[in-house]
Structure 1
């Protein structure tokens, strides 16, 4: 898959590759990171607002508790006050007695004067001998039928309840009120104590909040709010969900005034109470993240502008790069068509400028070599005319090896004197390879000598193919001195180079591995070439075992396979593992000799 991807990318022009790489490596990651950071920033701002609101609600809870503590303490005092018990339960004979009793008990008025948190104190009693004086009141049918009065009188305990109810002594103004039934055990009678909380004090604790904040009773009625117009309304009247009064404490997502909003709910249960209050604070998400969005949009515009400028610069830079490469390619095409007078006029000291100068040097060297080849061909033609009567077979059998080595050495020295170090080196390698082949005298040689011949061969092929071929030879240190049949590895390597890498344009690799394992020497020759199809592999395996195969290709492979079988037995020979399009591994194992 990687090779397929590389082949496809090789068909894309460099300018487009650079732009595509910029988009994949820079633009897309920047956009992804930008979106992530934007969401994280907005969420962080929102969380900070929620945290601040929760802290403020806790403070409101504490302040409200302090305000409600005063009516609670007053009710506790009155519940055990014998004077109140005596006034409420005495059967008076005259108005004078009633007035005298009222003068002796001024506590209700004193509480209102003493505590700013208290707006009014009154006691509802059914004693018919008492007079209504706005402190002691005989309940009317409207009062006795009211829900709060009935709930108070029906209670079996002396728990406090909190209601937002009308105060008939204040023009029926609705106030948050403490309502408590007081039972007088000595007289087996009872009455209802009502203490109104100062509305201004309640509003004051929420008036300075940043967000819309309110306090509501257990019935969902707003008893105090930053927006005083909301006092007395139900929470549902403010476009909240109907189930909000029943939700537990916490933070919720909702719609408020048609906008996405956050709501923080906190419960306030005063001491000795069986009902409590709820503190609700709400803010729209837009009001919190509005400024953050402005910063985000500004950062987004700057980022997009920077990316656009960078993209334009990359486009023009890549255009300049490819235009110089196309100019060099034009000169290369001239040389390919046989014009050895072509020269590149590209200047500069970057890689393309260096490549241009190397191109000119290469063309000049080719031109000089062509001249030498022409001269050499002229001389060779003269020699062929003189020696045409000599048969090729006689020449091969009678040629003096020392003459061949000396000739190669002369060629190498001549190339060396002309500054052609590469040609000189490869001629030397060729001579070394031929010498080693001729020096093989015995039936077995050390593996390291065989691998040295392989290395010489691969060096020569690497000179021919350039960057189309690289190789690696990795023998096990313990394997170098092991004896093997000579000329048994090189034919496999030669097969890998000729057939395996035949259609590889670049990046061809041949690896030779040698390892000692279980008293056997294993040799692996691996290439990353085109591989072998299943049908072709079957033909090759049949050919390896066919002594009379008349096809001339892969003769070396068949020779190696059959030599292994003859020397070590039928259990030995070549094994081929291949995958079409990915390469081939040819290996064999032989018992270690001596």
Structure 2
């Protein structure tokens, strides 16, 4: 009902409604076009479909057409009671239980009020039907007979189908009810003494009230009270017996479960993490046991993770140290050797042997970098400097038989990698791929960025290898056993990559006989490494 009042207040100031109903139209086409542009009634019905079933406006304008929403006033309407009352109410709201001429013969509780267009000295009557289905749905949720009654005692809505369409006096025989509109009364309904409850439903700015009436027979009240009393005694007696038995078994169950839980906690305290907590249930003890089991499993997993991390860290350090020790062991008095190489280089440079001088310089740089390698990481740029020094030395050795190129994305040169993972593969490409080829060959080191990291390809066009040899190398790379090798080989590089970057890294080899070999390294890149 408040929604209907709200809608009527909005329409009171609706300029489009004012223009539509007050225009003097020249043709039916103009009327139809004006109606087509006017959608206020449809929008309100759509927005408040649960509260409002229909809206219509009656206006004295001979040029209007009856659209079931805007209805021109005729003589029958002007003589109707609801219209006369609406005019006499001067814009105030009245609630009327009336027939809707657009949906005969059904009656609806309707808001009726006059809308005055003061600047045009005209007026019309607005009628908004309250949705009876919604009223019936609300009342149907009540278990006792209940109904909504207007000020003329007509039953508007009820949860009793046999009461529909009647007046309250046809159902309830009560002198006191006829004398007073609201309160609690005694009367007869279908010949049975009944208590009647009447309460007014007041809507703001309304001239009349709607009442809600409910009643309950005296027999129902007394009968229910007796049933409640007898049922109460029975329930109390059964509950007492059941409670005593239940208390005994629950106390015994709780004590046994607490003893088991206490024993399990002692075993956990003694560092026994392989126990199982066999206490089920959704109560606090069951929840506590599950949390204890969860804690035990987490602790065990954490210990395993710590052990595995330490094992891999130790293995990685051992591998790195092996590299350092092997390379240092292959040197005899390295500082003396560096000084000697520098003297040879300067001597060669002084005599104009610039190529020999450059090769000696590259050899010294390669040996110094090899000796200074530690267990930490180097940048991709430093690793490629070693590779370039090695290839320049080999270029001096093989002459025109060997060519090489480095295709590296400059934005990735600062990516940290383990030392000596590219140079050993380049060395394999030169020694095993090109040394046995009379025509020589070409070595290329290139990088490609992918979604999760960086791919480094070492490609040669040497003698290659067959599938059987590739399978043998793959099996060797994945063997868990470790043999003391005299040189830094593919297996050493492969295992260090796995220890450093995980299972996603490592070496992959693709080779064909007399075509060449491509070795690929995958390096995961963390956020912030690129362009560091």
What's the TM-score once normalised by structure 1's chain length? Answer: 0.37
Larger radius of gyration: 1
Higher relative contact order (CA 8 A, sep 6+): 1
> Of Structure 1 and Structure 2, which has the larger fraction of its residues in helix?
1
What's the TM-score once normalised by structure 2's chain length? Answer: 0.42
